[in-house]
A and B are shown apart, each in its own frame.
Chain A
Amino acid sequence: GEDVEQSLFLSVREGDSSVINCTYTDSSSTYLYWYKQEPGAGLQLLTYIFSNMDMKQDQRLTVLLNKKDKHLSLRIADTQTGDSAIYFCAEMWVDSSYKLIFGSGTRLLVRP
Chain B
Amino acid sequence: EPEVTQTPSHQVTQMGQEVILRCVPISNHLYFYWYRQILGQKVEFLVSFYNNEISEKSEIFDDQFSVERPDGSNFTLKIRSTKLEDSAMYFCASKAGNNEQFFGPGTRLTVL
Contact = CB atoms under 8 A, between A and B. Distances in A.
> B interface, how many residues as a size bin?
20 to 34
Interface of B: 31, 33, 35, 41-45, 48, 50, 55-56, 91, 93, 95, 99-106
Contact of B101 (A41, A50, A96, A98): A98
In the complex, the 9 A-B pairs of residues with the closest C-beta atoms, listed nearest first: A97-B48, A97-B56, A42-B105, A43-B103, A97-B55, A102-B43, A104-B42, A99-B45, A31-B99
Interface of A: 31, 33, 35, 41-45, 48, 50, 88, 90, 92, 94, 96-105
B88 to A, nearest CB: 14
B103 A42 contact: yes
Point out which of B42, B44, B102 has the most chain A C-beta atoms below 10 A from its C-beta.
Answer: B42
Nearest to B102: A45
